[in-house]
Each structure stands twice: as structure tokens, then as C-alpha cells.
Amino acid sequence: MIVTDMKSRIIEEIQEWKQKRNAILLAHNYQIPEIQDIADVLGDSLALARAAADTTADVIVFCGVHFMAETAAILSPEKTILLPDLDAGCSLADSITADQLRDWKAQHPGAVVVSYVNTSAEVKAESDYCCTSSNAVEIVNSIPDDQEILFLPDMFLGSFVKNETGRENMHIWMGECHVHAGIAPDHVEGVLEKHPEAELLIHPECGCSTSSMYLKSEGILPAEKTHILSTGNMLKRSKESEAEEFIVATEVGIIHQMEKQNPDKRFLAANPNAVCPFMKMITLEKVLAALKENKHVISVPEEIANQAKLSIDRMVAIG
């Protein structure tokens, strides 16, 4: 009871400070339940980027990880972007640097660079297009068929996009999100064995996504029940489907929203240990401190921001 009262007081104070500062709270689907529940906009990377670009708020409190706050700063340079915990990083974004990308581009002169949004501002500045898991296929399809493509940094998403588009001239960087990579085929198969009627909702970053595409094509996984989707589209599918059970292969934070939106349905984590420690760093207390103390302001140098914005604008416009 004491803990509940304290939490309620913190939430009330957050709302007061949001009004004082004309602030908006953006939160990713992987955040802890308390943060999801108070967010003004809750969504995947693409939805949050669009919200950051469109908001009339003076202050954006970004409850996500560092690259997301950087993207908001690039899209809305006139606004104050706050990241409540500076240690909220991303193992996937760390898997490639701007220098590594420049070297890769030198090996493939003239290639079009498509970077997943899970990258640093410096990498985005070296890219032609940004994408998210919800529009990566559409972005690659928008590029002429004879154009060589460098896709980075996630190898599982890259394999999914290459399979969906049939692009043979697409090179894939061998990076991964350690949380998603840890969701293996045997995790999915183990849960499916116990719940054969469940639908499979699989994020393309997962270590099981490549095998799932193959098993689906071979008829081993039921095609009508196997869906490889972004987090936003996972939520949409869970609401629209008539299925009563779902096996969810992504970071487990999304299950809170699924259960909240579909109280009569059951959601099972393919791997209950698929927890991103960076996404769980932001708490109600840190959000309040961010608003009261202006912690921590995220900005991007103007030259890098201007270059990166070109690729991000293309991402926001497609899909």
C-alpha cells in the first residue's frame, strides 16, 4: 500500500511537471509497465520518430535508449530532448561505428546504404536511408533493382529483408541485438509443442527468424499462424486476430501492452529471459528527475544532424 501511494504521488508530480514544461512523454514498447502506462505516445521506433517530429511540445522526455533520443533531437532540434538515464544504450547500435561504415562503403563504391534506426547519429549521417523493422522491406523495394545495397547493422533483419525482397545484390552487416539473438529456434519450438494452437509473432531481429522463414516455407510451421512483424504490427495483429493464444518472440516488455489491450487472450514469451537491461533502466523516479532537473539533455552536432536527417526523413516518409 505504501509503495502504491508513493508511485501514485510520483505519477501526479510527473503530470504536474509535464504541464509546467509543456512536455510530452514518448515510450518504447519494451519499457517497464509503469512507464508504458503513463506515456503520451507508446510505440515502436517508427511511431516514436514520427511523434517526435510532429509534436508541439517544448520538451520531449524519451523513455527508450540513446539512439532513439538522438533521432528525436535530429528531427526536432528546436526542442529539448531528455533521456532519463544516460546509460540506456543499445548493443545493436554499438555493433557498427561510422569509421567501420566508411570502410565498408569504400569496398562497395556507389552502393546505397540502408541503416536500421538502431544506429548512432554518426552512422545515420553516413547512410542514404534509415529504416525500422516495420518499413525496411518497403524501403529496400523503393530502391532500383540494379542498385547494390549495404544493409546494416542487424544480420537477422537483413536476412528477412533479403528474403522478402529477393535482392541478390544486398550485402548484410553481421551485427545483432544480443537480446533478440538469444531467442533461438528451440525456444519457439518448445513453447509451440505445448501450445500447438497458438499464433507465432516473431520479430525479424530474433535469432529464430531465419529458421522460422524456412520452416514456414516448408510447411513445418503453419503459414497462417506464423507472422514475422515489427513490434507495432505485433500489437496490431494480437488485437485483430481471432486466436486466443500467442507465442511472442521479442523482448518481453511488449507483453504488458498485449495483455492490457487483450485481457481475454493469453501471451507466452518464446524466451522469458529475453529482457533488455537498457530498456529497463528508466523508472518513474528518473522521469520525474529528468523533468525537474533537465536530465539528461541529448543533442547532436549540427553538421552530423543535418546529414543524418536526410536518411531519417526518408524513413519517416515511407511505410
CA distance 161 to 133: 9
H/E stretch holding 62 reads: strand 59-63
The answer to whether the annotation marks 276 as part of a ligand binding site is: yes
The answer to whether the annotation marks 117 as part of a ligand binding site is: yes
Q: Please state which of the ranges 39-48, 87-96, 140-149 shows the lowest mean pLDDT.
A: 39-48
The answer to whether the annotation marks 127 as part of a ligand binding site is: no
Residue 3 confidence (pLDDT) above 80: no
- Please state at what angle helix 66-75 crosses helix 45-54, rounded to 10 degrees: 30
- Residue 42 · residue 257 · CB < 8 Å: yes
The answer to whether the annotation marks 28 as part of a ligand binding site is: yes
Residue 214 confidence (pLDDT) above 70: no
Domains 2-89+279-299 and 93-176 equal at CATH topology level: yes
Q: Residue 28: which pLDDT band, with cuts at 50, 70 and 90?
A: very high
Per-residue model confidence (pLDDT) at position 316 = 87
Superfamily name and number for 179-269: NadA-like (3.40.50.10800)
CATH number of 93-176: 3.40.50.10800
Residue 1 confidence (pLDDT) above 70: no
The per-residue pLDDT of the chain, averaged, comes to: 94
Residue 92, judged by CB atoms within 10 A of its CB (0-12, 13-18, 19+), counts as: buried
82-115 pLDDT tens trace:
999 999 999 999 999 999 999 999 999 999 999 9
Domain boundaries, the chain: 2-89+279-299, 93-176, 179-269
- Residue 119 · residue 93 · CB < 8 Å: yes
The answer to whether the annotation marks 205 as part of a ligand binding site is: yes
The answer to whether the annotation marks 90 as part of a ligand binding site is: yes
The answer to whether the annotation marks 203 as part of a ligand binding site is: yes
The answer to whether the annotation marks 131 as part of a ligand binding site is: no
Q: Residue 45: which pLDDT band, with cuts at 50, 70 and 90?
A: confident
Question: Would you state the cell numbers that stand for residue 121, as one nine-digit string?
Answer: 547519429
The answer to whether the annotation marks 171 as part of a ligand binding site is: no
The answer to whether the annotation marks 204 as part of a ligand binding site is: yes
DSSP code at position 96: -
- Residue 249 · residue 200 · CB < 8 Å: yes
Q: Where are the beta strands (DSSP E) in 50-193?
A: 59-63, 80-82, 112-116, 129-131, 149-152, 170-172
Select from 63, 120, 132, 103 the least CA-distant residue to 301: 120
What is the average per-residue pLDDT within 299-318? 94
51-91 pLDDT tens trace:
999 999 999 999 999 999 999 999 999 999 999 999 999 99
The answer to whether the annotation marks 45 as part of a ligand binding site is: yes
CA distance 247 to 198: 6
Superfamily name and number for 2-89+279-299: NadA-like (3.40.50.10800)
Looking at per-residue confidence, does 310 or 189 come out higher? 310
Phi, psi values for residue 245, rounded to 5°:
-130, 145
Q: What number of residues does the chain have? A: 319
The answer to whether the annotation marks 59 as part of a ligand binding site is: no
The answer to whether the annotation marks 231 as part of a ligand binding site is: yes
Per-residue model confidence (pLDDT) at position 2 = 59
